[in-house]
Homo-oligomer: A and B are copies of this chain.
């Protein structure tokens, strides 16, 4: 029988073997009591199995509150656990409850993070996955062999549909590939969703009629199921190609329902992610997280960016990009969305470390506040990526490309 595997980074005052057994027991049939007709075979069939334990280190202070044993030694280890597909079948919600459920509350752990997970091949026959992925998003935006260049409408909230459309006009004329709503905006007092779609798509469609290039706009539809479906249809009818969902706010079942409509590229925003990941020994790491959303069918997912304005390290961002680009079950292509304080100066380092242009590369001020105007900003970003692929440094690129050079003068060299 096929098995689902999960790797955890744990910290425990118990011997790690004992703690791993507690985890496996709590999340399966461990508390078996004698029941008439129950057999050892039945127990084994549903028991979670500890597959491997790799001790890391012992520390003297617990990472999060938990069991306090005499001695004050807390052992850290990587632990691999597996479950039979028979336990929950092809049910992502039940899989999450099994892999990430009550175990975070076990007092036997003073740290527990889900690092990665692995689903068996048969999942590919049950989950359609992203309908567009990298190739589909490239096709919709007609962008080959460089990252899609994108931006977010700012201010986050407050612009009217007409003001938004004016900005869009500037941006599409500047040659942008992708634009998105901020995650704070769905339908506000002065920007009702439908009016915004109308105003934005009028500009995007007119531009497409002239140039043949339809800029992708990810409208934020996050809400209840029926509202999201209504907005989805509205975008489709208006000629739009993408919808955005706040993954953590809407939740797995709602996101899956929207992805299953299959006609718009789904932009997955991970706001709230810090709550799930920021502590080194609590929550979930991105390699596991992104797999869940690929199974749900999300086409694009945020990964933060090199030298970002948030707390996350470059190493972590690089791991996230790599995780997205690694095929899952032979496919399930998802486009990593690089965002947060990006302006092109980070392109050489991003390429050096990831060796890919399969990115949606988002810049805000880097485009709108460019000395040569937004058109200069978009060109500068394209140049930054050309230079990055050619192996130029920021200084070399600044010398070769005038618009990128002006970016560097304005935004300064990255650290």
- Contact flag A190-B272 (CB < 8 Å), given A251-B253, A254-B225: no
- Contact flag A86-B188 (CB < 8 Å), given A183-B97, A246-B93, A253-B223: yes
When the two chains form their complex, are residues A272 and B101 in contact, meaning their CB atoms are under 8 A apart? yes
- A352 shortest CB reach to chain B, Å: 23
Nearest neighbor of A159 in chain B, beta-carbon distance: B35
Q: Which of B31, B158, B167 contacts A45 (CB 8 A)?
A: B158
| A249 to B92 alpha-carbon distance, docked (Å) | 8
- Contact flag A105-B253 (CB < 8 Å), given A98-B184, A311-B66: no
When the two chains form their complex, are residues B253 and A250 in contact, meaning their CB atoms are under 8 A apart? yes
When the two chains form their complex, are residues B254 and A163 in contact, meaning their CB atoms are under 8 A apart? no
Q: Mark A138-173, 1 if CB is under 8 A from B, else 0.
A: 000000000000000011111110010011000000
Q: Mark A190-227, 1 if CB is under 8 A from B, else 0.
A: 10000000000000000000000000000010111111
- A221 shortest CB reach to chain B, Å: 9
When the two chains form their complex, are residues A105 and B312 in contact, meaning their CB atoms are under 8 A apart? yes
Copies of this chain, complex-wide, total 2
How big is the A interface, by class?
35 or more
The listed residue with most B CB atoms (<10 A of its CB), out of A93, A256, A271, A310, is: A93
A84 on the interface (CB 8 Å rule)? Answer: yes
- A307 shortest CB reach to chain B, Å: 12
| A167 to B312 alpha-carbon distance, docked (Å) | 50
**Which residues of A, 229-283, contact B by the 8 Å Cβ criterion?**
246, 248-257, 269, 271-276, 278-280, 282-283
| A45 to B188 alpha-carbon distance, docked (Å) | 11
When the two chains form their complex, are residues B283 and A97 in contact, meaning their CB atoms are under 8 A apart? no
- A18 shortest CB reach to chain B, Å: 16
- Contact flag A157-B253 (CB < 8 Å), given A167-B35, A184-B101: no
- Contact flag A252-B252 (CB < 8 Å), given A89-B188, A158-B32: no
| 10 closest cross-chain pairs (CB), A and B | A251-B251, A104-B274, A253-B254, A86-B189, A101-B271, A105-B274, A105-B310, A107-B311, A96-B249, A46-B158
9 contacts between A and B (CB under 8 A): A33-B155, A46-B188, A65-B278, A91-B224, A93-B246, A101-B183, A251-B252, A253-B257, A276-B276
